[in-house]
Structure 1
Amino acid sequence: MTDYGHDLLFGSFVTPSSARPAEVVDLAVASERAGLDLVTFQDHPYQPALLDAQSLLAFVAARTTRVRLAANVTNLPLRPPAVLARTAATLDLLSGGRFELGIGAGGFREAVVAMGGRGLAPGASVDALAEAIGLIRELWNTEERGGVHRDGTYYSAHGAKRGPRPAHDIGVWVGAYGPRMLALTGRLATGWLPSYDYLKEGAASLPAMNARIDDAAREAGRDPREIRRFLNIMKPERATVDFLTELAVEHGISGFVVGGDDEGAIRRLGEEVAPAVRRAHASGRAGG
């Protein structure tokens, strides 16, 4: 049994189809009505079949009142971190503290380059992400006086003005799989946001990946419990009560983001599956 001490969160992963924009927003609103905690959208700015994630998040924030919102995950190479810091803080202020920053090093290098971004090699992209997270947090920190000065290999600031301050401590949730990205998550992130289908050995991959995050957190002087463990479940039929309960009790997963663009499936997740998993999880904690 693995327990990082977090209550369970349940969310939707809605496809931001540019061919059906009204339906996308309706599914986000339906997620809130169903009692879900989180609505997320993929961020692929080079894909015209998809709506721009940041614009969509702002629109959905205006149509909802309670649910948290995040990109799953933000494509850093096409979102300059200093500007992303302003965007995130603005969305958080406008939504009343409901925005969270899902972020990744960026895949699909050729597509990024085609849009004018830098096509970094995998190792360099990890270093760039670490620099970006540091810069974003510096710009959010309005308790310090003076501008932000950071000389990075990939991202720098020379007197950039701080603020605005977000409405709450925005979570930084990293999509990570490889050893260096998992270590970065342990050092710098407040959440880990991978997808089940990308785990080489399914749930059997989780103990070693969790351990990598935990070890890096301890080496950085952090408590591993500071890092919430999410999991994207892209096939909604996989999101059964038994499976999600096993992930929660055995592997410490406390955030489940389920794909599928079906309002009925969203209602079942929020109204039937989530309450049952919460009861089973509470029972497992008590028994564990």
Structure 2
Amino acid sequence: MTDYGQQLRFGLSLDPSVEQAPRTGRLARAAADGGLEYLAVQDHPYQPGYLETWTLISHLAARTDRISFLSDVADLQLRPPTMLAKAAASLNALTGGRITLGVGGGAFADAIAGMGGVRRSGGEMVAYTEEALQILRRALAGGPVVFPGRQHQIEGYTAGPVPTAPTPIWLGSQRRRMLEVTGRHSDGWISPLNIYVPPDEVPQRQRIIDDAARSAGRDPGEVRRIYNVIGAIGEYRGGQGLVGPAGLWIDTLTRWSVELGFDTFVFWPMTAHEQQLDVFAGTVVPAVRQAVDEIRGRR
């Protein structure tokens, strides 16, 4: 059993489709009103029907005043770390600290190359990502940034602005080498969807992150653990992921928190998004918070 003791947080994944933009705006406001902590936006700029992630986040941030935003996850191969840090820091300063920078190495090499990026895979992609995280960390802290790496050569510039609230860096990862990078350099692990990394495969990945964190002199408990959960709440059939009544969701998310170590759950509703959000925020989230508090209290 693994429980890192982090405060529970909950979020909603927003569809970046331009056709769904009006609904996305309604969902963003409803999630904020419902007490969720995060709005998450995926980053696939090579999809012609998708809005650009930072443009959409900026648009929605101007229409909300409390909820935070998560890039889930920004493609490092198409976004140089110096400019990505500049964008995240700028938006964090403008929103009063409501930006969390989720990043990934880039899962679709052909699509990345199609947009002019370099086609990287395997060890080269891991090395590129690890160096990018180090540059992001330095750039977000402000001041001089110099990085003579193998994958990135930063000759020197003065980074800024530096927001009052730090900008967390969370890494999306799945395989061993990238999980080790997560433990060494990131503030949080963003797990792929529960249909791609099912619960029974999570403990092994958590151990890899923990071992890497300790080897780097870090406390594994400081690394947040984020699960993207696709599914539907209610009597649905044939859906993917976690599907079932609210009670099943409450029991499952509670178990995934206190036994698997997740502290943040991002809900990806499969259908009836606005109705699903109402049930998630109004019924599931408060019950999970209470159940986890009670279990931790007994321990």
**TM-score band, normalised by shorter chain:** over 0.9
Report Cα offsets for 1:80-114 as digits up to 9, x if no partner.
Answer: 11100100001101110010000000011111111
Name the structure 1 match of 2:210. Answer: 214
Q: Which has the higher contact order (CA 8 A, sep 6+)?
A: 1
State the 1:275 CA deviation.
0.5
Among candidates 145, 170, 174, match of residue 173 of structure 1: 170
Report Cα offsets for 1:259-287 as digits up to 9, x if no partner.
Answer: 02611111211111000001110111122
Name the structure 2 match of 1:71. Answer: 71
d(CA) in 1 for partners of 2:292, 2:20: 37
The structure carrying a bigger strand percent of its residues is 2
2:58 counterpart SS class? helix
2:284 corresponds to 1:273: yes
Name the structure 2 match of 1:254. Answer: 263
State the 1:20 CA deviation.
2.3
Report Cα offsets for 1:6-39 as digits up to 9, x if no partner.
Answer: 1110100111111122221221111111111100
d(CA) in 2 for partners of 1:31, 1:118: 37
Q: Is the 8 A contact 1:249 1:281 kept in 2?
A: yes
2:139 corresponds to 1:139: yes
2:43 corresponds to 1:43: yes
Report Cα offsets for 1:104-163 as digits up to 9, x if no partner.
Answer: 000111111110011101221111111111111212223x5xx32111222221122221
1:94-173 equivalences under 5 Å are: 94-142=94-142, 144=143, 147-173=144-170
1:63 counterpart SS class? coil
Report Cα offsets for 1:183-202 as digits up to 9, x if no partner.
Answer: 11100011111121111xx2
2:224 corresponds to 1:228: yes
- How many aligned positions are there? 283
d(CA) in 2 for partners of 1:198, 1:221: 30
Bigger drift between 215-224 and 157-166 goes to 157-166
Name the structure 1 match of 2:236. Answer: none
2:267 counterpart SS class? strand
TM-score (norm 1): 0.95
Q: Is the 8 A contact 2:86 2:159 kept in 1?
A: no
Name the structure 2 match of 1:245. Answer: 254
2:13 corresponds to 1:6: no
Name the structure 1 match of 2:185. Answer: 188
Q: Is the 8 A contact 1:3 1:252 kept in 2?
A: yes
Name the structure 1 match of 2:57. Answer: 57
AA in 2 matched with 1:135: I
AA in 2 matched with 1:148: V
1:79-94 equivalences under 5 Å are: 79-94=79-94
2:226 counterpart SS class? strand
2:23 counterpart SS class? helix
d(CA) in 2 for partners of 1:168, 1:100: 10
d(CA) in 2 for partners of 1:152, 1:166: 27
Name the structure 1 match of 2:239. Answer: none
1:54 counterpart SS class? helix
d(CA) in 1 for partners of 2:108, 2:47: 11
d(CA) in 2 for partners of 1:167, 1:53: 23
Q: Is the 8 A contact 1:18 1:48 kept in 2?
A: no
Bigger drift between 109-118 and 26-35 goes to 26-35
Q: Percent identity?
A: 38
| Stretches of structure 1 lacking an aligned partner (at least 5 in a row) | none
2:258 counterpart SS class? helix
